[in-house]
Amino acid sequence: MPKPIFVLNGPNLNLLGTREPHIYGAESLDDLRTRCEAAAAARGYAVVFRQSNREGDLVDWLNEARTAASAVVLNAAAYSHTSVAIYDAIKAMATPVVECHLSNPQAREAFRHVSMVSPAAKGVISGFGAKGYELAIEAAVHLAASQDAEKA
């Protein structure tokens, strides 16, 4: 079995299902975990699914993913717009990263229009709600397979 896909979630995503459901949807973080695990398993991958409200945890997990993951799906949430540390952690790794957001940041407040993460990520999936995580898993598997093929 290949290395797992890390699905890393940032601040306040532990409140999914109750925090502004008109923006983020009614599904909980556990519901998203179930979606990700099913999408990855269908493609022969396991998932390491984590959430933290602390920026340093996300950086530590990205550092870990450099050698332990096939790919990363990252919803850095509010840190997407502010974290040079997360940007630097992604730039330091060859493991592909897919940035994922439940909502479409471009359709929201102006301060959400700039992502520090996007320039370092291989791609971005946003605005599709919980379905976006499944799409991000699919993209992560594709990137991991492409990277493996290049190494062969």
Continuous H helices in 2-130: 21-24, 29-41, 55-68, 84-91
User: Does the annotation count 87 as an active-site position?
Assistant: no
Q: Which one from 45, 87, 101, 133 is the annotated catalytic residue?
A: 101
DSSP string, 93-151: --S-EEEEESS-GGGS-GGGS--SSTTTSSEEEESSTTHHHHHHHHHHHHHHHHHHHHH
Given a contact cutoff of 8 angstroms between Cβ atoms, the answer to whether 100 and 80 are in contact is: no
* 101 belongs to the catalytic site: yes
Catalytic annotation, pick one of 22, 24, 113, 142: 24
Neighbouring-strand partners of residue 8: 50, 74
Residues annotated as catalytic are: 24, 101
